[in-house]
Amino acid sequence: MSKINYGLENKVVLITGGSSGIGLALALELLKQNASVIICGRKEENLARAASILGDSGRLTTIKAHIAKEEDVTAMFGQIEEQFGRLDILINNVGMNLITPSIPDTSLVQWSKIIDTNLNGTYLCSRGAAKIMKKQNSGKIVSISSIAGRKATPAMGVYGIAKAGMEMLTKVLAAEMAQFNVQVNAVAPAMVRTEFSEPFWGNEDIYKSIIKNIPAGRIAETKDIIDPVLFMASEGSSFITGQTLVVDGGSTII
């Protein structure tokens, strides 16, 4: 548990992809901070597993939704408005990657799958949240980006393009929503030790090649991402908007 109280008691928080990895860790911490937490995911069994881990606090809601499908996203935000009457915080956490060849050799199927989930899904959820937050004249949107959106990385080209798009979406939406007291920011980690990234850190040779370019000498753990995200979701960031906080152990400074 974080040693910092972020003042998120009774806040209504939606975490996309909250059934595993960074999203699950964030959900656990937000429940400990006494927020009302909604997690969404594509598979009922993954949501059920996450609910068993997160416990029966009475403050957890699970919603089955595919964030790249407009009808699912529309229904999800409709349910949130009906059940809670508001949405204080959206954390765009869903991400997926495929090891891809060079751009000339990438198929449209590979491109579309990665862009749909990482960028189109973030757009749809941010749009849905922004409509609610605009009416209530308050809110926070925090997206999980990646340093892959800032430096060309072999086998992660399309993923990086999607994350770069997410960061520009963050800036544009921040400019549009500032007048409604809604702050829109992103957090861009280096590689985080999750099931999602295991194909990279699980291979000893690849892992060694990764950490030699990180001054901190390791990849990030999920706990390294929690506090930056919760800070951006808290009142402490009320005069910060359109920004991306890089959490990378120094890898982008060398």
Residues labelled catalytic: 159
Other CB atoms within 10 Å distance of the CB of residue 46? 18
- CA–CA gap between residue 235 and residue 35 (Å, rounded): 14
Q: Which of 122, 124, 110, 125 lies closest to 146, judged by CA?
A: 122
